[in-house]
Amino acid sequence: MGVRSILFETLEHAGEPGVAEPGHFRDLNLDQIVRAATEAAGAEAVAPYFRRPLRDPGLVAFRQHIFRDLEDPAVRRVAERFTASVARTRTRLEALARRKHPPQAHRWFLEIVLDYTAAVSGLAEGLDTSGAASPGLRALRDDVAEHVRAAPFGALREGARRLRDRLGEVRYDILLRGDQAGVAPHDEDGRFDYTERVLATFERFRQEPPPEEHEDTAPALGLDVVEAGILDLVAELFPTLFGDLAAFRGAHRDFVSAEIVRADRELRFYLGYLAFLAPVREAGMPTCYPAVSATGGELLARDVYDLALAAKLAADGGRAVTNDLRLDGAERVLVVSGPNQGGKTTLARAFGQLHHLAALGCPVPGREVRIFLPDRVFTHFERRETLGGLASKLEEELLRMRTILEHATPRSVIVLNEILSSTTPDDARLLSEALLASIVRLDAPCLWVSFVDELSLMSPTAVSMVGTVAGDSTTRTYKVVRRPADGRAHALAIAERHGLTHAQIIGRVRR
């Protein structure tokens, strides 16, 4: 049966090649989230897992149970010890490949094998004693325990232990004559052992050693020239033992199991995301495990926020502003309007992030979230790098929208941000109405940040949300609420853009 995946339903899915970064990642700042989680995981190889959202609510729940297990410090420590050991094995094998001194390399190979086998055994034992309760981690525990009991692993571990014990019994004397060093079989009678005499001579200079520091790091792989020369002489004294050591390395050169490597990589997906999320939680931002469904476009999300932005703010001791999102019954389109720099684009990113992260089985930014699993997430954000005049920009926007509408299904999610800003208000209104009609016919959930306030009135399935300002009508609160658009916020934004607000005019007069 082998070691089952803790990410996918079958090993065939677990072994599928990685996918390229989806087009919506950069628009939604998911690339920043994945980069940070991957760095926290300590393995670039986990990045493709963040690009493969799930469609099955049962598999999402399976991952959520594992995340909950790993939030228990006892369970997380077991997983972290294991992944650290596998990383240490990888690093030491890479260093060993550069060693050209056979006796030394064979000895360190043995040490690496012992460390690796202890790590694999410790994973099964640790998951058993730490109280891991999720079906995924219990299956991993059972599969790794079976892997440890299997003959190949047993032969590897017991062979390494026997060699270690035999090496531990090796005794020899170092003979020093002037500037020459040699070795000889150990003098059991101690006639030429000058240890006590040397210690007594230098007793007056003796100092207490500093306290030992126990760090979980690999010892340096390397002997100096004199040490290596002595080891060569010892190998000549014990040719059978060192021959067996070389044979052991030759027989087990590829001892690291591909199944164990995959288990390590999959655990890092969970650990990396939780490590990335920790500072955000410590800053007081809410997270939750969403309730997910396979069908329906309804949405309930309380106190949601842009996770990438929240991570940046948390690093500086700040907190993100939260908002609520809701689509009830036949509602499908959230039309967001309001002043510039008022949190509209941030809300759009939060909407898209929620759907993607929920489909990964991850904890999501929000206090309470009920959401469905989309087949795809489509985004249309303004591309600053677009070259050419306004006409070419409008054409590019319309072509991108046509591509979205051709590929989207009722189970897709669409996020549109400030499109059609390159044309006249009248043309933007007409084009927006036509695009909205297509989205409504599609029946796909959509969040549309638009300066066309009346867009929310063009369909009963559309709902208006407005970015709010403080009492002075200029200070942004970054709160976006459900209410009819009145156009005032947009008018204020336009006046501000052109320096025509009351405060701006008075300021110029006073100068």
CA Rg value for the chain = 32
Quote the pLDDT of residue 176: 79
- Work out the number of other CB atoms within 10 angstroms of the CB of residue 212: 6
pLDDT band of 218, cuts 50, 70, 90:
very low
pLDDT tens for each residue of 246-298: 999 999 999 999 999 999 999 999 999 999 999 999 999 999 999 999 987 78
Quote the pLDDT of residue 17: 57
Rounded to 10 deg, the angle between the 102-129 and 135-149 helix axes is 140
CA distances from 87 to 18, 117, 214, 218 (A): 21, 13, 18, 11
Q: What are phi and psi of 182, to 5 degrees?
A: -145, 175
Mean pLDDT of the 350-359 span: 98
Task: Name which residue leads in pLDDT, 460 or 425.
Answer: 460
Q: C-alpha angle with apex 472: 469 to 478, nearest 5 degrees?
A: 20
Closest CA to 345 of 267, 421, 234: 421
Quote the mean pLDDT of the chain: 89
Tell me the percentage of the chain whose pLDDT exceeds 90. 65
pLDDT tens for each residue of 66-79: 999 999 999 999 99
Please tell me the number of Cα atoms within 13 Å of 176 on its side-chain side. Answer: 5
Mean pLDDT of the 347-372 span: 97
Q: Which of 16-30, 111-125, 366-380 bottoms out in mean pLDDT, i.e. has the lowest?
A: 16-30
Q: Which of 105-119, 453-467, 494-508 bottoms out in mean pLDDT, i.e. has the lowest?
A: 494-508
Quote the pLDDT of residue 372: 94
* Cβ-proximal residues to 379 (8 Å cutoff; 6+ apart), any chain: 23, 24, 27, 28, 352, 414, 415, 416, 417
pTM: 0.87
Quote the pLDDT of residue 494: 63
Mean pLDDT of the 157-179 span: 90
Burial of 367 (0-12, 13-18, 19+ CB in 10 A): middle
Closest CA to 164 of 115, 226, 94: 115
Q: Tell me the C-alpha distance between 508 and 511, whole Å.
A: 5
Amino acid making up residue 469: V
Quote the pLDDT of residue 191: 66
Quote the pLDDT of residue 295: 84
Burial of 407 (0-12, 13-18, 19+ CB in 10 A): exposed
pLDDT tens for each residue of 443-496: 999 999 998 888 988 999 999 999 887 765 566 788 999 998 876 655 665 676
